[in-house]
Amino acid sequence: MAELNGNLLVAQSGGPTCAINASIAGVITEAGKHGCIEEIYGGLNGILGILNEELIDLGDEKRSAIEGLKYTPAAALGTCRYKIHFVSEEKIAAETDQKKKTSLQKKRDQALKDMDRLFEVFQAHNIRYFFYAGGNDSQDTSHKIHQEAERRGYELRVIGVPKTIDNDLPFTDSCPGYGSVIKYCATTVMEVGIDVGSMATDDGSVCIIEVMGRSAGWIAAGTVLAKRGNPANPPHLILLPEVRYDREEVLAKIKATVDAYRYCVMVVGEGIRDSEGNEIGADPTKRDAFGHPLLAGAAWKLKDLIEERLRTKTRTVLLGYAQRAAAHCASLTDVQNAFACGEAAVKAAVEGQSGYMVKIIRSVEDGKLKWSTGLQPLSEVANVEHFVPTEWISPDGFLPNEKFIEYAQPLIEGEVRAPIEGGLPKYVTLEKSRVEKLLPPRA
């Protein structure tokens, strides 16, 4: 494979995690080792910033800032929810409703315009290496960019870097960000559990902790680690979006738990569904930028149900954004894997690969767990969701089992200790020196 000289562009997409910056640090660090990579640019706010030609010169950043990215949460380059809506001609042809057909055509036209603009920016800045860290949608975008580069005969090496607290990308052992979010959530569930347990009286009480996870229950499931092998320890119930729950059975299980322990600490994924398949916490009147219904009320609705039916005092905790930003409680294993994914992406691209996502691989060597990385074709990854396997969940659906624990435990090992200043973690902010714009503004 001939050496490809040119500039590198890296960007972040979707909801941040506390390990995504470690992947960027991995990209920058590895890129610095290869002479063929001339400039190292970052796209501000993901694909949106690239479309607007808002690039920053990462080569200008201090080495200490790059180092600090390993323990700094959120998206240091900025991120976005903007999505290029790729619509196939087949889908448009098959649509019989004229209004919907027009809407699909509009999306296709916008995607074509966006793609043209992206390649204008790539060409103007001689971008030859493109890395995009994100979840399912972002891997799909990377795949389309890779295909488009081939179609245009524009020499570009595209590698997707996995990122999502949801842990729902296929093929990779786990997704950078996931180990940290479950370390924080399990710590929180354990602490809340001890607290609620220490207040338990004969009156009984319930505490519901709602965590993220629209369709995959990986985060909720991960809090099972707080049990540390003791069935009496919280969480006593974990409700996953993968399972359908009968309300009466859930109530009976909560009652049995309160009867046994005088309290019940339960964890619910935001997207849990009842036996009819309806989302328990959905607000049907609101939708996010991707058209998914906004979820935020599963814990509240369950609280009302429990207080009405069981007459047991119920409190809720809604961790929301706090869980994915909690770098103060990040997993070292997770952050190291995230960094390795960034490095591996650059290595693969320099070696001539394109159209792949980096994946994390676990293996056992001399009885010791070993982490490494591999590559998976983006064509196989894009838009495939990976759920908690049924065989990792107890038959009644109320707790992940030993197989899940064996999988999840290694992901939370090790602590990341950010420097502390004035009693608070000292995270880094990038200088973000702008790369001069060479194009007219986006139409």
- Tell me which residues touch a second copy (CB under 8 A): 15-16, 18, 45, 48, 72-76, 78-82, 183, 186-188, 190-192, 194-201, 207, 209, 225-226, 228, 286, 296, 300, 307, 315-322, 324-329, 331, 409, 412-415, 420, 422-425, 427
Backbone angle region of 255, left / alpha / beta, with phi > 0 → left and psi within -120 to 50 → alpha: alpha
- Comparing CB distances to a second copy, the nearer of 108 and 442 is 442
In whole angstroms, the minimum distance from the beta carbon of 243 to a second copy comes to 24
- Annotated catalytic, 166? yes
In sequence order, which residues have a C-beta less than 8 Å from that of residue 434 and are 6 or more positions away? 54, 55, 56, 57
Check: CB of residue 24 under 8 Å from CB of residue 11: no
In whole angstroms, the minimum distance from the beta carbon of 1 to a second copy comes to 35
- Comparing CB distances to a second copy, the nearer of 156 and 211 is 211
In whole angstroms, the minimum distance from the beta carbon of 290 to a second copy comes to 13
How many helices (H) and strands (E) would you count in the chain? 14, 17
Check: CB of residue 277 under 8 Å from CB of residue 246: no
Check: CB of residue 405 under 8 Å from CB of residue 223: no
In whole angstroms, the minimum distance from the beta carbon of 89 to a second copy comes to 30
Sign of CA dihedral 150, 154, 155, 161: negative
Q: 114, 166, 168, 173: which is the annotated catalytic residue?
A: 166
Q: Where are the beta strands (DSSP E) in 212-281?
A: 237-239, 244-245, 263-269, 273-274
Angle at which helices 298-309 and 247-261 cross, to 10°: 70
- Comparing CB distances to a second copy, the nearer of 7 and 314 is 314
In whole angstroms, the minimum distance from the beta carbon of 151 to a second copy comes to 30
CA distances from 51 to 143, 156, 210, 211, 228 (A): 17, 17, 36, 33, 48
- Which amino acid is residue 191, in one-letter code? E
- Comparing CB distances to a second copy, the nearer of 18 and 345 is 18
d(CA 178, CA 188): 15
Question: What does residue 222 show for φ and ψ, rounded to 5 degrees?
Answer: -60, -25
Angle at which helices 20-31 and 332-350 cross, to 10°: 40
- Comparing CB distances to a second copy, the nearer of 244 and 309 is 309
Beta strand 205-211 with 263-269 is parallel
In whole angstroms, the minimum distance from the beta carbon of 150 to a second copy comes to 31
DSSP 8-state code for residue 135: S
DSSP 3-state of 126: coil
Beta bridge partners of 420: 425
- Comparing CB distances to a second copy, the nearer of 115 and 299 is 299
In whole angstroms, the minimum distance from the beta carbon of 314 to a second copy comes to 10
Angle at which helices 332-350 and 178-198 cross, to 10°: 170
Check: CB of residue 207 under 8 Å from CB of residue 314: yes
- Comparing CB distances to a second copy, the nearer of 108 and 437 is 437
d(CA 404, CA 414): 19
In whole angstroms, the minimum distance from the beta carbon of 269 to a second copy comes to 16
Question: Any idea which residues carry the catalytic annotation?
Answer: 166
